[in-house]
């Protein structure tokens, strides 16, 4: 209870700083929002949706590499509907929802847990790498040089053997059965490629909102830096306030504080709406009869690891 109250308190502080900056620049910020082209806002929203689609493809590739192949629409239902839990204070809700949805569609909880964790590690690694490559000349980002130190660490952690050891350790801590196989190196490479493509598309939405034709490279790095900062501030749900503050920190010296605040606010609204739309579409398209088997019901500790979604109840491979 105390930890939950602390998370809420810190989230309110972050929002308070954002609100203070908005209040100081209210007229300029509202003018900047009003000056945005409706087509630019619509394009930004569509860019966010497309970026989310590429992230979904990467996530599905990881799940398949761990042994559970599902149609893209089903993967979307697990990922997009489940991740709505990130808006609830506490890091466990999105994990719990996605693991439960995964179980309904034939993925043991340990595999879904591993997929979420690996997807997050890849996302952070790619985001920090893009930020470091595109923003190294900006003073505001150079002050956070220590974030770049995470890149080689994450690169080492993505080696299949190191990765399997780390995920199995996390699964033991979570009191779940270990993984049955090592994630193929090809899967990691493909997932990183799709994730990077998703980040470059996310950059388009900041570029459109910023209204500067020469802003794309900085826009992509700025959002990657802001997202990584927000996600690493684990005590604040969905990085609310933190992400916007980091985005203003990077874009402010380039386009002005008020326009940067406008971009940050509209970006947050675009992502929130895109999360809801993606979850709604995936919920409808991914509806099907659950494929889970009785053996998955006891995956919390006593279940047999000999049974996987690729095997039937007799233990023999399915045709």
pLDDT of residue 312: 33
| C-alpha gyration radius of the chain | 20
77 found inside a domain: yes
In a domain, 248, yes or no: yes
Other residues' Cβ atoms within 10 Å of the Cβ of residue 79: 27
Q: Which tops the pLDDT comparison, 295 or 41?
A: 41
- Judged by DSSP in three states, 137 sits in coil
Residues 6+ apart with CB under 8 A from 186: 65
Report the candidate in 247, 259, 257, 195 with the shortest Cα–Cα distance to residue 222.
247
In a domain, 312, yes or no: no
Residue 204's domain comprises 13-285
Is residue 239 within a helix (H) or strand (E), and if so which, with residue range?
none
Distance CA 265, CA 244 (A): 7
Q: What angle do CA 37, 42, 45 make, to 5 degrees?
A: 130
DSSP type of residue 81:
I
pTM to 2 decimals?
Answer: 0.76
Domain annotation covers residue 197: yes
pLDDT at position 279, please? 85
Structure tokens at 305: 């690891």
Residue 315 lies in a domain: no
In a domain, 239, yes or no: yes
Q: Quick: pLDDT tens for 263-272.
A: 888 888 888 8
pLDDT at 50 over 90: yes
Examine residue 291 and state whether it is found in any structural domain, yes or no.
no
- For residue 186, being part of any structural domain is answered with yes
- pLDDT tens digits for range 302-312: 333 333 333 33
> Highest mean pLDDT: which of 15-19, 39-43, 104-108, 144-148?
39-43
Between CA 154 and CA 123 the distance in angstroms is: 10
Number of domains present in the structure of the chain: 1
Residue pair 174/300 in contact (Cβ under 8 Å)? The answer is no
């Amino acid at each position: 209870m105390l930890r939950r109250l602390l998370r809420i308190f810190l989230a309110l502080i972050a929002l308070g700083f954002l609100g203070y900056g908005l209040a100081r620049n209210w007229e300029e910020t509202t003018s900047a929002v009003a000056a945005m082209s409706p087509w630019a806002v619509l394009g930004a929203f569509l860019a966010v949706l497309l970026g989310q689609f590429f992230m979904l493809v990467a996530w599905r590739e990881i799940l398949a590499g761990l042994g559970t192949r599902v149609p893209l629409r089903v993967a979307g239902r697990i990922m997009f509907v489940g991740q709505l839990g990130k808006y609830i204070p506490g890091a466990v809700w999105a994990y719990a929802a996605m693991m439960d949805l995964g179980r309904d569609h034939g993925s043991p909880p340990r595999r879904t847990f591993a997929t979420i964790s690996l997807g997050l590690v890849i996302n952070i690694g790619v985001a920090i790498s893009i930020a470091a490559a595109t923003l190294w000349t900006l003073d505001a980002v150079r002050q956070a040089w220590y974030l770049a130190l995470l890149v080689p660490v994450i690169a080492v952690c993505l080696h299949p053997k190191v990765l399997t050891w780390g995920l199995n350790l996390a699964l033991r801590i979570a009191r779940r059965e270990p993984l049955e196989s090592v994630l193929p190196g090809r899967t990691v490479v493909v997932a990183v490629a799709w994730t990077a493509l998703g980040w470059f598309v996310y950059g388009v939405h900041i570029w459109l909102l910023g209204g500067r034709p020469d802003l794309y490279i900085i826009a992509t790095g700025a959002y990657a830096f802001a997202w990584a900062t927000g996600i690493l501030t684990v005590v604040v749900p969905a990085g609310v306030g933190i992400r916007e503050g980091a985005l203003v920190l990077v874009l402010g010296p380039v386009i002005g504080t008020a326009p940067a605040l406008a971009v940050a606010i509209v970006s947050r609204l675009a992502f929130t709406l895109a999360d809801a739309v993606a979850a709604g579409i995936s919920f409808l398209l991914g509806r099907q009869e659950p494929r889970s088997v009785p053996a998955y019901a006891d995956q919390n500790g006593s279940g047999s690891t000999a049974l996987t979604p690729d095997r039937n109840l007799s233990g023999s491979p399915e045709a």
